[in-house]
């Protein structure tokens, strides 16, 4: 066995952690010099804007270079509802559901390229996107509009197009969440979902986009913290050798990245260091610890990995293989911020937003909206989306169950997110006597509420706002 210092370096090399704030803390700089695999940027790191992120990325690279290594710098930038670099304004590009509904593969590829260019400028070399989950459960609380489609074939072709566009900029993509989080009714951030599908269903539905991504040469795949009894009745996918072994059987030879190990689905019962050891032993290569973590957690996790190697619980060869796969990904990743983007991209995005809106909306016989006010019914977004802007600028904000304020005798444009799975939202809509149009910014599922005309842009984005605004103005809205 190599000297313990070498094993300790490997135990750092396979981790990606995150700190709070927009500057690199001294203790994290020291970890990077010692060999920490990299940093994942979350909202607290990116809030000051792209120029600040670019500066932070340079600090991270400099600290890694002082230790003789290139660090992984990664982020969740999916476009649409999930954005870190545009969290203050909202995403300037369409999200997955709208792209799938527009069904223009050239637009999807160019959207991936546009995101890649933004990431390359910010100094990021791995994007934890796109979502390859097939959103077959309309009540899914965490995937929804992050998915390209409820149809496996549609999702597969758009996943590969998006990855192709992203990776054309030299930024690596990471399709997620294997083996598929789409047919679940719980959020693995806060629970341990179960995907109760047989192996035949998995192969016909969940695995189809991942197989397509593997065949297209995607650089990385992210695991999911869900139990799939057909593959492993006990452990969630991130910690399961049968689940991760299936990914290799599909022909994927790239980097296996864990979803954040601080999520309840992975570590609620065992803690992050123990989850890290189990995940490496199962076949994962790069461990994402989660946001705003103290440097001491990185060291505790490294100590647990070293102890597992020394006890024989984790073969040294598995740890070495994981580090080698990280090195291979970095060797093949050269971000190119000057890659070309179609000059018509902005217009094509708006055209795509119009098609996505038309695909799921009631666009005929809208009532007169002259003088209309916008009422937002505010509900918390899931953790993956976070606290980011959504919807049209609101005149009135109410929460489900709150008393509705006295409003002028004018039509109301009521906007919601995922009203189909929130009965309290439907009751609040029903209490708005002048409600004229419902704008559903979430998944466009069947809505059991007042029979209002619905506009469904299939996720939030700035092009989607423009498309919705155009329709409302045609009915007399004056803003």
What is the bridge-based pairing of β-strands 172-178 and 126-127? parallel
Q: Which two tokens stand for residue 93?
A: 């590009």
State both tokens at 157.
């072709």
> CB of 120 within 8 A of CB of 341?
no
Cα–Cα–Cα angle for 269, 177, 348, rounded to 5 degrees: 145
Q: What is the per-residue burial (b if ≥16 Cβ within 10 Å, else e) of 245-278?
A: ebbeebebebbbbbbbbbbebbbeeebbbbbbbb
Q: What is the DSSP letter of 221?
A: E
- 386 to each of 104, 236, 333, how far by Cα in Å? 28, 24, 29
Q: Identify whether 15 is preceded by a cis peptide bond (ω within 30 of 0).
A: no
Q: Between β-strands 412-416 and 373-377, what pairing exists: parallel, antiparallel or unpaired?
A: parallel
Cα separation, 237 vs 275, in Å, equals: 12
Compute the distance between CA of residue 365 and CA of residue 121 in angstroms, rounded to an integer.
45
Distance of alpha carbon 254 from alpha carbon 53, whole angstroms: 27
**Which ranges constitute the DSSP H helices of 137-229?**
152-167, 199-204, 207-215
User: Are 166 and 204 spatial neighbours (Cβ–Cβ below 8 Å)?
Assistant: no
Contacts of 364 (CB under 8 A, 6+ apart): none
What DSSP line would sit under 189-205, residue for residue? TTS--B----HHHHHHT
Q: Exactly one of 104, 259, 262, 418 is catalytic; which is it?
A: 259
| Of 353, 364, 363, 366, nearest in space to 457 by CA | 353
DSSP letters for 56-111: HHHHHHHHHHHTT-PPEEEE---BTTB-STTTTT--SS--HHHHHHHT-HHHHHHH
In sequence order, which ranges of 291-449 are alpha helices (DSSP H)? 295-311, 316-331, 345-360, 423-430
Among residues 150, 158, 177, 189, the one annotated as catalytic is 189
382, 142 contact by CB (below 8 A): yes
Residue entry with tokens 């890290």:
276
Q: Is 259 a catalytic residue?
A: yes
Q: Is 127 a catalytic residue?
A: no
| Active-site residue list | 189, 259
């Amino acid at each position: 066995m190599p000297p313990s210092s070498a094993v300790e370096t490997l135990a750092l090399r396979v981790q990606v952690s995150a700190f709070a704030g927009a500057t690199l803390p001294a203790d994290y700089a020291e970890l990077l010099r010692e060999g920490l695999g990299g940093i994942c940027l979350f909202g607290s790191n990116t809030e000051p804007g792209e120029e600040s992120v670019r500066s932070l990325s340079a600090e991270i690279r400099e600290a890694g270079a002082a230790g003789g290594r290139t660090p992984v710098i990664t982020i969740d930038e999916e476009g649409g509802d999930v954005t870190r670099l545009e969290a203050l304004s909202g995403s300037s590009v369409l999200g997955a559901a709208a792209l799938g509904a527009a069904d223009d593969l050239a637009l999807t590829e160019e959207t991936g390229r546009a995101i890649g260019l933004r990431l390359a400028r910010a100094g990021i070399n791995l994007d934890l996107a796109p979502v390859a989950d097939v959103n077959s459960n309309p009540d899914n609380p965490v995937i929804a509009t992050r998915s390209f489609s409820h149809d496996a074939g549609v999702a597969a072709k758009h996943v590969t197009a998006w990855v192709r566009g992203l990776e054309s900029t030299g930024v690596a993509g990471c399709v997620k969440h294997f083996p598929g989080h789409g047919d679940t009714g719980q959020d693995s951030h806060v629970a341990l979902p179960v995907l109760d599908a047989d192996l035949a269903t998995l192969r016909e539905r969940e695995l189809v986009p991942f197989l397509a991504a593997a065949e297209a040469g995607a650089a990385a795949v992210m695991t999911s913290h869900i139990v799939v009894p057909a593959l492993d009745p006990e452990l969630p996918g991130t910690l399961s050798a049968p689940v991760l072994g299936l990914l290799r059987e599909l022909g994927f030879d790239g980097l296996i990245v864990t979803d954040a190990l601080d999520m309840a689905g992975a570590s609620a019962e065992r803690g992050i260091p123990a989850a890290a050891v189990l995940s490496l032993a199962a076949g994962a290569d790069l461990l994402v610890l989660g946001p705003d973590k103290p440097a001491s957690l990185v060291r505790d996790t490294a100590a647990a990995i070293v102890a597992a190697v020394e006890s024989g619980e984790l073969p040294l060869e598995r740890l070495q293989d994981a580090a080698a796969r990280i090195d291979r990904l970095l060797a093949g990743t050269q971000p190119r911020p000057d890659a070309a983007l179609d000059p018509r991209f902005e217009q094509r995005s708006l055209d795509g937003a119009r098609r996505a809106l038309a695909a799921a909306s009631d666009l005929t016989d809208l009532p007169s909206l002259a003088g209309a006010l916008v009422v937002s019914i505010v509900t918390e977004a899931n953790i993956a989306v976070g606290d980011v802007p959504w919807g049209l600028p609101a005149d009135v904000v109410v929460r489900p169950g709150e008393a509705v304020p006295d409003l002028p005798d004018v039509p109301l444009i009521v906007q919601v997110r995922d009203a189909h799975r929130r009965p309290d939202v439907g009751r609040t809509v029903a209490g708005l006597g002048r409600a004229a149009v419902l704008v559903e910014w979430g998944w466009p599922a069947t809505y059991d509420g007042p029979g209002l005309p619905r506009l469904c842009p299939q996720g939030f984005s700035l092009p989607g706002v423009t498309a919705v605004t155009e329709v409302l103005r045609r009915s007399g809205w004056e803003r």
